[in-house]
Amino acid sequence: MGAHVHKGEDRSDNGIPDPDPEYLSLERELTFLLRRARANQGEMAREVHPDLESAAYGLLVRLDEYGRQRATELAAYIGVGKATMSRQLRALEELGLIAREPDPADGRAWLVDLTDEGRRRVAHVREARRARYVSQLSHWDRREVAELARLLHQLNGVMEK
């Protein structure tokens, strides 16, 4: 009797079962999730403003959650250089979504915050996204949703290190 191979079982090139199928499965699912997330981020950015770059959506969400911050803090959080951050902030400012003001504690630094219009638009898009999650996961037990959020939070913490 030959060995039964389950659909989707991970095997190495020589046909031997991989010793870490859980990690291969994790990699496959994260790749799929991240690909979807990138596409969704672009859609959400366009919902905030038709001319908004996809990458800038994360900046708006960060400002929505944490409030006014220095441009250098935002650059560090997103993982971009000062020139890239300056360009993105200039574009957001031109769209009327953020405002910059000199940091009173350090005249060389800028503080960035959402404008009222930026806050309203981001809140609208985030609420619509949350409603989609509620709808798409309506058949899940709320404890499962909480567990998924907990595990993703734990994974994000490990990935930051």
pLDDT digits (tens, 9 = 90+) for 27-66: 999 999 999 998 888 899 999 999 998 888 999 999 999 9
Q: What are phi and psi of 14, to 5 degrees?
A: -90, 10
Check: CB of residue 67 under 8 Å from CB of residue 111: no
Question: In the prediction, which pLDDT does 4 show?
Answer: 41
DSSP H helical segments within 2-141, as ranges?
21-48, 56-66, 71-78, 82-94, 116-136
Tell me the whole-structure pTM to 2 decimals: 0.77
Confidence category of residue 160, pLDDT binned at 50, 70, 90: confident
Q: Does domain 21-160 have CATH number 1.10.10.10?
A: yes
All structural domains of the chain with their residue ranges: 21-160
What is the Cα–Cα distance from 154 to 152, expressed in whole angstroms? 5
